[in-house]
Amino acid sequence: VTGASFVVFNGALKSSSGLLAKSSIVEDGLMVQITRETMEGLRQALRDKKDFRITCGQVDTGDVKEYVDICWVENEEKTNKG
């Protein structure tokens, strides 16, 4: 789990890169590089207020250990304040 002051979603990751997605720490935030197709899915999920999971790592490996989860919450008291 990583806390961040901001999140940047970059939809310019090429399918030919061999990556599903890539996340990296940038200053005190998180940058997530995703493909155009994943960006379209993310936008639709945000419009529909639905949870969305971005799987990071190589396309061909079954050993994926990193995810970026966008979750909608009912009760804001349980979220990180500040």
What CATH number corresponds to the domain at position 56?
3.30.1360.220
Please report the pLDDT score of residue 42 as a whole number: 97
- Residue 52, in any domain of the structure: yes
Please report the pLDDT score of residue 5 as a whole number: 87
Residue type, 4: A
Domain region containing 38: 6-70
Locate 9 and state its tokens: 């979603």
- Residue 31, in any domain of the structure: yes
Please report the pLDDT score of residue 78 as a whole number: 59
Please report the pLDDT score of residue 44 as a whole number: 97
Please report the pLDDT score of residue 21 as a whole number: 93
- Residue 79, in any domain of the structure: no
Number of structural domains (the chain) is: 1
Low-confidence ranges of the chain (pLDDT < 70): 1-2, 64, 76-82
Closest by Cα among 71, 44, 66 to 55: 66
3-state SS of 25-70 is: EECCEEEEEECHHHHHHHHHHHHHCCCEEEEEEECCCCCCCEEEEE
Please report the pLDDT score of residue 34 as a whole number: 96
Strands 19-26 and 29-34: antiparallel
Please report the pLDDT score of residue 40 as a whole number: 96
Please report the pLDDT score of residue 57 as a whole number: 87
- Residue 27, in any domain of the structure: yes
- Residue 13, in any domain of the structure: yes
- Residue 78, in any domain of the structure: no
